[in-house]
Structure 1
Amino acid sequence: MKKKDLAIIVVTVWLIVITVFMLLAARIDLEIFFVLWLIGLLVIVELMDTRFTLPPYMRYLKYVVAAGILLFGGIVAIKVMEILAR
């Protein structure tokens, strides 16, 4: 099995586990879902990364990770502003 296919399966299983736990807790929060998705994606990208060659799909995956980190920074900034506004 290729690393690319395995990564898709692992991310899918991770998202299903997150969704099930959120449903069991009766608390659906997209911010928490996004942060947990990003953590899982970062772990998978780090484990898939090769030392000497960079397959094309890894370059695009790193763009997705960079966009996720920017969104995460935005979420953190909004939460800090909410705390400071109190």
Structure 2
Amino acid sequence: MWGDKKKLTLLVLSVWLAIVVIFMALANILNVEILFVLWLIGILVIIELIDSPYLSTSYIRNLKVVISAGVGVFGLIVAFKVLEIISR
């Protein structure tokens, strides 16, 4: 049962990133920061949908660690963008 959720998570995240990359390529905007933020939004939504409030599996805990690191990187991106705006 849990293996199915792992596969579904990977499939949905892969489809989400493929859609994002396709739209970025069509718009001629290939930006790693935008891709990272949209990846983070996608994984946050997926984890929110598959996480059970009563049962915590090891791969969910591991994904939450990855999400925590992603939020930290997102904070750095925001801080650098703010500093870039202020220094103009």
State which of 45, 48, 68 in structure 1 corresponds to 2:47: 45
CA displacement at 1:26 relative to structure 2: 0.9
With structure 2 as the length reference, what TM-score do the two structures score? 0.94
1:80 match: 82
With structure 1 as the length reference, what TM-score do the two structures score? 0.96
Structure 1 runs of 4+ aligned residues shifted over 2 Å read none
- 1:1-86 to 2 correspondences below 5 Å: 2-86=4-88
> In the comparison of the two structures, how many residue pairs are matched?
86
CA displacement at 1:52 relative to structure 2: 1.0
- Structure 2: gaps spanning 5 or more residues: none
What is the CA RMSD across the aligned residues, in angstroms? 0.9
Amino acid aligned to 1:49: D
- Structure 1: gaps spanning 5 or more residues: none
